[in-house]
Amino acid sequence: MARFLDPLDFEVSNNFSKDKYKASAFESSMVPNNAGINSANMSQRFELDQALIEDRLGEALAYRYQASGEVVAFLTRKWIPEEVSSNFIVKILDCSPDELVSSTFVRFDIWDNGDLIGRFSEPLRIAHMVEVFVSNSPLVRGNRLSASGLKIRSVDVLRQFAGAVPVKSKLSSYQLNSNLRPGTVLKWNNLSKITLVQKGKIVDVFASGNGIYVTMKGMALEDGVEGGMVKIRNLSSEKEFQAKVLNENSVKVHL
On whether the CB atoms of residues 110 and 90 are closer than 8 A, the answer is yes
Pair 70, 124 in one domain:
yes
Pair 116, 212 in one domain:
no
Q: What angle do CA 94, 84, 28 make, to 5 degrees?
A: 70
Pair 115, 24 in one domain:
yes
pLDDT in tens, 201-253: 999 999 888 888 889 999 999 999 888 899 999 988 889 999 999 888 899 99
Beta bridge partners of 45: 85
What is the Cα 250 distance to its own chain's centre?
A: 33
Domain boundary residue among 75, 108, 128? 128
Domain boundary residue among 147, 171, 193? 193
Domain assignment of residue 167, yes or no: yes
- Smallest CA-to-CA distance from 221 within 240, 208, 205 is with 240
Q: Would strands 224-225 and 250-254 be described as parallel, antiparallel, or unpaired?
A: unpaired
Pair 25, 105 in one domain:
yes
Pair 147, 159 in one domain:
yes
> Considering the chain, what is the average pLDDT of its residues?
83
Cα separation, 140 vs 176, in Å, equals: 7
pLDDT in tens, 93-152: 999 999 999 999 999 999 999 999 999 999 999 999 999 999 998 989 988 887 778 999
Q: What are the strands, taking DSSP E only, across the chain?
A: 19-23, 26-30, 45-48, 70-75, 82-85, 88-96, 103-112, 115-135, 150-156, 174-176, 191-193, 195-197, 202-209, 212-220, 224-225, 229-234, 240-247, 250-254
Q: Specify the pTM.
A: 0.67
Give the model's confidence band at 24: pLDDT under 50 very low, under 70 low, under 90 confident, else very high: very low
Domain assignment of residue 171, yes or no: yes
Helix (H) or strand (E) holding 59: helix 50-64
Cα separation, 28 vs 60, in Å, equals: 12
Domain assignment of residue 12, yes or no: no
Task: Give me the domain span that covers residue 202.
Answer: 195-254
Max mean pLDDT among 37-46, 56-65, 234-243 falls in: 56-65
Pair 148, 245 in one domain:
no
On whether the CB atoms of residues 143 and 194 are closer than 8 A, the answer is no
Cα separation, 14 vs 63, in Å, equals: 34
Number of domains into which the chain is organized = 3
Pair 226, 214 in one domain:
yes
Question: What pLDDT is stored for residue 43 in this prediction?
Answer: 58
Question: What pLDDT is stored for residue 36 in this prediction?
Answer: 42
Task: Count CA atoms closer than 13 A to 96's CA, side-chain side.
Answer: 6
Domain boundary residue among 177, 193, 209? 193
